[in-house]
């Protein structure tokens, strides 16, 4: 893919582009920290990665208005939707991410002791909502891919790969005993997260 500065600037000028880049950098730094032989150096890189993760959380608070509008617009398209299943899955993803944003904001405030709530429980619900959105997205993409000639579904297949990587990595953080929770190493989980983030940024680029 030829490097184009204007396209890069355009990607970084929008929320989604900045979020995907920060997420990719976070995953890359977590992976890099696992390669360090010196535990103190590993802690330094991991601490820096956590700063990027915290920055993403703050930036996401600016995305609430657009998600609310997106959910409203999606609901209004119900009467004219030709593929009801695809519409339902797509709308579910948007709605789930909208709720996710509100729950995460509450978890963030609770973690900062600004409101009285169980931040751990709220962040766990964020994980459940995110995985639910990924499942809906994967099902939708499988339907889209199955309805296209193989040669014309390359972009959708790459998008599906990104969602699968996210789901496999995310499910590793589920409570013990659910799916493959805790079975992946930090290096494996961060690698999958990086792949998913890189695909997301590539799609925008």
Per-residue tens of pLDDT for the chain, all 205 residues: 456 888 888 888 898 899 999 999 999 999 999 999 999 999 999 999 999 999 999 999 999 999 999 999 998 998 888 899 999 999 999 999 999 999 999 999 999 999 999 999 999 999 999 999 999 999 999 999 999 998 899 999 999 999 999 999 999 999 999 999 999 999 999 999 999 999 999 988 8
CA distances from 131 to 39, 70, 136, 150 (A): 32, 20, 9, 27
Contacts with 5 (C-beta within 8 Å, 6 or more apart), sequence order: none
Residue tagged 């360090």 (tokens):
36
Task: Read off the pTM.
Answer: 0.91
Q: For residue 110, what are its two tokens?
A: 């609770």
Q: For residue 80, what are its two tokens?
A: 């004219």
- Strand spans (E) along 2-125: none
């Amino acid at each position: 893919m030829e490097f184009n500065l204007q396209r890069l600037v355009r990607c970084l000028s929008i929320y989604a582009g900045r979020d995907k880049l920060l997420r990719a950098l976070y995953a890359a730094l977590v992976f890099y920290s696992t390669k360090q032989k010196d535990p103190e150096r590993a802690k330094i890189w991991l601490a820096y990665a956590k700063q990027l993760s915290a920055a993403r959380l703050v930036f996401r608070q600016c995305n609430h208005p657009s998600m609310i509008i997106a959910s409203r617009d999606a609901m209004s398209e119900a009467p004219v939707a030709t593929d009801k299943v695809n519409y339902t899955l797509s709308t579910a993803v948007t709605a789930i991410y909208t709720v996710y944003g509100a729950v995460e904001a509450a978890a963030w405030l609770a973690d900062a002791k600004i409101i009285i709530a169980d931040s751990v429980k709220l962040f766990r619900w964020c994980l459940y909502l995110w995985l639910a959105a990924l499942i809906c997205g994967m099902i939708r993409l499988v339907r889209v891919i199955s309805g296209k000639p193989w040669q014309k579904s390359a972009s959708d297949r790459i998008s599906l790969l990104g969602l699968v990587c996210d789901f496999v990595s995310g499910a590793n953080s589920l409570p013990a005993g659910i799916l493959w929770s805790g079975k992946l190493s930090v290096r494996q989980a961060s690698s999958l997260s990086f792949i998913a983030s890189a695909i997301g940024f590539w799609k925008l680029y």
